[in-house]
């Protein structure tokens, strides 16, 4: 059994003592004792008042570091890849240091009783855009802490320091990784080794290029189809920086120098050995322990109180995009039970997250974003028990471990159109055979946001004029998710805190005919002049062969084959659309319900190596505005009614928005404060003239307003 089992401790002193400590030492440092504590010490480096967190309650933010220990033989930790090869302290424990930020009322009697934990995304706190309501606004205690151990800690990010794994004799552990470099700048001869945009955080095991394999690709599709390739001889490149020194340059184990420079028209793919893997899975345990510590512990062995002790009744966690994938991994691997057997989080919201994160595989790159050959779809992706016969897997679900221990949280799964397009949500809903809708367990609710880009537009507004989407063919998709998420976050908190039943699940299903093949015909997508067709834009689930040392269901272990073989591609389905090209199932934003154009979860890359392929890795949506008038529509051949034909006048449009807002507030999809703000925005927008150009336009507006 673990020698670290037992209650962790945290020290909290009065603000006066902290201030004196800061004045005396330049930092606020509190030692938390207890040899058996998992979080053995807390250092508070900074306390700052927050004047805008909640207008009725004074808040403060404590930034510090949690020093923790793990017993590699404790059953709660044994699933962590390479933990038994990690460096240990004198007590035989594996240490970590996690940065945390705890935002709390100065007077904790005014706290709501809920601890809201947000997973950071690549070391950075994530918000849901302008208008997002943060946890302190509801009186909650807010916590973030580091979980991603491949990032270098700075005084600005929120990460965790984890140990390196080594062989028992102290020698380096090595393994293979794959670097992919595309869209190079003209005349560039040196590039950092990365997986497209994400740096590989490991040194090459050897600078001998004959031990690696470098090719250049002339073309590539997201489905894995590639054009002609050419081998690059080991004498024509180096692990080096040649930006200031001629080839072979200055040796560098994390950079690639090409003797003749990079060709912007090619994609370069390097398979090579790296060394000294970080034990990244420790980050999941650190997240578990830090959250559990602040939730449960009263005081340290010296009697100093936890700053939120006795005031936390329940805890909720949210992860967004990459960190939402990490949250699903956290639940799958059983980390919602702490070492004392207690439930860590009562509620969980993986948002816009259709994959798992490479945080418990050797030489993982947790910052990855799901491009070709990147892992993340290997593990279990569904909430109910299902046997993935298509890939030859055993029956399993994301909730198996927490079900066995009685520690499953109440779950909101929230996502939009881009996640069907590029984040494997088809298999999450229908399994790998897509024969039937998989049932949801009683503790899971699922909410779909139709017609949104990844995360929705964070600068949403009622502006019919298209704005460019960087590097994409179609304009930027302005369809938001923020206001719907505000309402759902409140609903999740109420479900956890007092058992208030949330709104029912709303999402496309096979059974209602709203999940169909990714073709223009099956989806019912209209022919729009100058627009794109959706055919082939949805990215299927690649059944990769990463070698025999990976536990595929748990997405844990060792990847030994790079690039992986592709055994098959499991097709992605897409939601059906109406005559405007807009999806009809889900919780639509007010903009989606009073559309100014067609909103897609897909777009195409305009230029570069990936021209014609899904833009932004498939995560960038598009917008095709409606014509302003009937005459303009007829002149262009657009089959979609114009704004004038739909709404008549500006007041007609506002009436449609007002009616939609009223419905959504009643359904608890929208908070009244957000409804009032959005109606005002719509009224202030310049969408149509105040007076219609034709009697028909004025009649249309009157009819729409009378329907309210």
In angstroms and rounded to an integer, the radius of gyration of the C-alpha atoms of the chain is 27
Phi, psi (5° rounding) for residue 646?
A: -85, -45
| Per-residue pLDDT at 138 exceeds 70 | yes
Average pLDDT over every residue of 369-390? 95
Tell me which of 29-43, 175-189, 440-454 is least confident: 29-43
pLDDT per position as a tens digit, 667-708: 999 999 999 999 999 999 999 999 988 899 999 999 999 987
| Residue of higher predicted confidence among 173 and 156 | 173
What is the average pLDDT value for the chain, to the nearest integer?
A: 92
pLDDT of residue 552: 97
What does the domain layout of the chain look like in residue ranges?
1-109+136-163+278-310, 174-275, 313-538+572-625, 626-708
Per-residue pLDDT band at 292 (split at 50, 70, 90):
very high
DSSP 166: B
Q: Model-level pTM greater than 0.85?
A: yes
pLDDT per position as a tens digit, 174-228: 999 999 999 999 999 999 999 998 999 999 999 999 999 999 999 999 888 999 9
Do 581 and 527 touch, CB atoms closer than 8 A?
Answer: no
| Per-residue pLDDT at 22 exceeds 80 | no
Phi, psi (5° rounding) for residue 71?
A: -90, 115
What is the rounded distance in angstroms from the CA atom of residue 70 to the CA atom of residue 158?
20
User: Residue 182: CB partners within 8 Å, gap ≥ 6?
Assistant: 196, 266, 267, 268, 608, 609, 610
CA 274 to centroid of chain Cα atoms: 27
Per-residue pLDDT band at 478 (split at 50, 70, 90):
very high
Per-residue pLDDT band at 474 (split at 50, 70, 90):
very high
pLDDT of residue 16: 32
Taking each continuous run of H as one helix and of E as one strand, the counts in the chain are: 14, 33
pLDDT per position as a tens digit, 608-619: 999 999 999 899
| Per-residue pLDDT at 663 exceeds 70 | yes
pLDDT of residue 25: 33
Per-residue pLDDT band at 460 (split at 50, 70, 90):
low
- What pairing do the DSSP bridges indicate for beta strands 410-416 and 347-351? parallel
| Per-residue pLDDT at 416 exceeds 90 | yes
Q: Which strand (E) or helix (H) includes residue 706?
A: helix 695-706
| Per-residue pLDDT at 566 exceeds 50 | yes
Q: What is the separation, in whole angstroms, between the first and last Cα of the chain? A: 65
User: Residue 331: CB partners within 8 Å, gap ≥ 6?
Assistant: 348, 398, 399, 401, 402, 408, 409
Here the tokens at position 707 are 């329907």
pLDDT of residue 424: 86
Nearest to 330 by CA among 395, 283, 295: 283
């Amino acid at each position: 059994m673990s020698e670290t089992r037992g209650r962790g401790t945290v020290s909290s002193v009065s603000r006066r003592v902290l201030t004196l400590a800061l004045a005396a030492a330049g930092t606020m440092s509190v030692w938390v004792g207890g040899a058996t504590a998992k979080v053995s010490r807390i250092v508070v480096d900074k306390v700052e008042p927050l004047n805008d967190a909640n207008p009725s309650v004074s808040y403060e933010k404590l930034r510090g570091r949690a020093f923790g220990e793990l017993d590699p033989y404790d059953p709660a930790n044994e699933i962590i890849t390479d933990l038994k090869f990690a460096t240990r302290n004198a007590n035989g424990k594996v240490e970590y240091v996690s940065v945390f930020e705890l935002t709390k009322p100065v007077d904790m009697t005014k706290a709501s009783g809920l601890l809201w934990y947000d997973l950071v995304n690549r070391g950075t706190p994530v918000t849901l855009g302008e208008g997002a309501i943060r946890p302190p606004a509801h009186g909650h205690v807010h916590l973030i802490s580091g979980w991603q151990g491949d990032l270098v800690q700075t005084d600005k990010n929120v990460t965790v320091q984890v140990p390196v794994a080594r062989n028992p004799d102290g020698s380096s552990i090595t393994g293979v990784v794959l670097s992919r470099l595309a869209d190079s700048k003209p005349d560039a001869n040196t590039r950092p080794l990365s997986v497209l945009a994400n740096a590989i955080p490991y040194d090459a095991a050897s600078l001998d290029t004959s031990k690696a394999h470098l090719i250049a690709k002339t073309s590539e599709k997201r489905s894995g189809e590639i054009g002609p390739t050419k081998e690059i001889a080991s004498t024509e490149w180096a692990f080096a920086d040649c930006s200031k020194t001629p080839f072979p340059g200055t040796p560098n184990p994390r950079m690639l120098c090409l003797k003749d420079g990079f060709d912007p028209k090619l994609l370069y793919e390097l398979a090579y050995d790296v060394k000294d893997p970080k034990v990244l899975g420790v980050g999941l345990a650190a997240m578990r322990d830090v959250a559990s510590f602040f939730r449960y512990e009263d005081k340290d062995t010296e009697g100093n109180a936890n700053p939120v002790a006795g005031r936390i009744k329940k805890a909720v966690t949210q992860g967004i995009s990459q960190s939402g994938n990490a949250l699903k991994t956290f639940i799958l691997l059983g980390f919602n039970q702490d070492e004392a057997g207690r439930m860590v989080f009562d509620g969980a919201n993986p948002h816009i997250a259709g994959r798992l994160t490479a945080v418990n595989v050797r030489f993982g790159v947790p910052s990855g974003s799901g491009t070709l050959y990147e892992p993340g779809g290997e593990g279990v992706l569904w909430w109910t028990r299902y046997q993935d016969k298509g890939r030859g897997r055993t029956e399993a679900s994301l909730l198996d471990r927490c079900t066995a221990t009685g520690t499953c949280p109440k779950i909101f799964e929230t996502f939009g159109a881009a996640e069907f397009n590029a984040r494997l949500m088809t298999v999450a809903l229908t399994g790998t055979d897509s024969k039937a809708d998989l049932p949801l367990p009683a503790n899971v609710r699922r909410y779909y946001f139709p017609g949104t880009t990844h995360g929705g537009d964070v600068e949403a507004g009622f502006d019919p004029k298209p704005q460019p989407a960087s590097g994409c063919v179609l304009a930027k998709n302005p369809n938001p998710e923020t206001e719907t998420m505000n309402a759902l976050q409140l609903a999740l908190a109420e479900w956890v805190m007092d058992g208030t039943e949330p709104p029912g699940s709303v999402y496309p299903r096979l059974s209602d005919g709203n999940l169909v093949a990714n073709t223009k015909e099956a989806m019912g997508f209209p022919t729009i002049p100058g627009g794109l067709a959706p055919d082939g834009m949805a990215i299927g689930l690649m059944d990769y062969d990463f070698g025999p040392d990976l536990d595929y269901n748990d997405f844990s272990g060792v990847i030994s084959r790079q690039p992986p073989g592709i055994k098959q591609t499991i097709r992605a389905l897409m939601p059906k659309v109406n005559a405007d090209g807009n999806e009809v199932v889900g919780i639509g934003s007010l903009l989606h319900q009073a559309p100014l154009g067609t909103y897609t979860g897909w777009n195409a890359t305009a230029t570069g190596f990936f021209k014609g392929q899904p833009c932004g890795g498939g995560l960038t949506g598009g917008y095709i505005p409606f014509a302003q008038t009937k005459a303009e529509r007829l002149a262009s051949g657009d089959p979609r009614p114009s704004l004038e034909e739909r709404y008549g006048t500006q007041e007609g449009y506002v009436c449609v928005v007002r009616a939609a807002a009223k419905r959504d507030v009643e359904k608890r999809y929208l908070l009244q404060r957000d409804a009032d703000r959005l109606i005002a925005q719509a009224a202030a927008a310049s969408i149509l003239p105040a007076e219609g150009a034709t009697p028909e336009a004025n009649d249309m507006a009157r009819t729409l307003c009378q329907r309210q």
